[in-house]
Amino acid sequence: MATMTESEKKAGGAWEVIRVVIHALIIAFVIRTFLFQPFNIPSGSMIPTLLVGDYLFVSKFSYGYSRYSFAFSMDLWGNRLFKIGPLPFNGRILASNPNRGDVAVFKLPTDNETDYIKRVIGLPGDRIQVQGGTLYINGEAVKREQVSDFDDTDSYGSERKVRRYRETLPNGVSYYTLDLYDNSPGDNTKEYVVPEGHYFMMGDNRDNSTDSRFLGQVGYVPFENFVGKAQVIFFSHEPDASLLAIWDWPWTIRWDRFFTLLN
């Protein structure tokens, strides 16, 4: 009976490790492409719903799949290691329309590459306007009730109180928004008419969000550009925290935000 040499055993063990790694990468690729993709929040445009330092899962299947569903890249220290997609086809497969109030990730229409996350406010054909900080949909003011102030920290590290409102859309979806300033550039707008096949997106931090109100920077978002729906926050840390400083975790990790479901 033939026996394996020591070198053959080592080669077999090495190949087994490689095979396991390849299988794990394939499984991760399938999950990321077709089911859930992780995103982190780098800016405050969706405060108080999403905070800088939140990590969340986005369901790729919620709206079906477009060419941007298969597009992603990996960067390291500012250098792009690789880029995949978008694939050369138009439209969506297994399409399901976004609902008003969804928190969704989409590709910025001005470059079709940068990931943005905002809330779906206007559906195709809607008339959207903001007057005095109040949102109007099809000529009707959206219900807006002031609640307790939000404790915030400005860019200089100073604590401040920010006006917080509970906004309720016509379909009953309710969430909190912030009002930092009176008469900011997005507080009084013209009336927008959302084109067919497009959506009007806004951040919950209304005075600190570049969104569909600014046509030259974001504008109306084509349905094709939607990547997925934000579902759950799975991890969160303070913006200035270092994840390598494990000894600081009890104070820098936001434990209470783990597994927070999003509307």
In angstroms, the CA 192 to CA 100 distance is 16
For residue 155, the one-letter residue type is: S
User: Can 143 be counted among the known catalytic residues?
Assistant: no
For residue 177, the one-letter residue type is: T
Question: DSSP letter at 35?
Answer: I
In angstroms, the CA 145 to CA 129 distance is 18
Q: Which residues contact 37 (CB under 8 A, 6 or more apart)?
A: 57, 58, 60, 72, 105, 227, 228
Asked whether the beta carbons of 90 and 112 are under 8 A apart, the reply is no
In DSSP terms, 161 is beta-bridged to 151
User: Can 45 be counted among the known catalytic residues?
Assistant: yes
Q: Out of 45, 66, 69, 212, which one is annotated catalytic?
A: 45
Q: Out of 107, 118, 209, 212, which one is annotated catalytic?
A: 118
In angstroms, the CA 192 to CA 171 distance is 20
Cβ-count burial of 3 within 10 angstroms (0-12 exposed, 13-18 middle, 19+ buried)?
exposed
- The residues annotated with a catalytic role in the active site are 45, 118
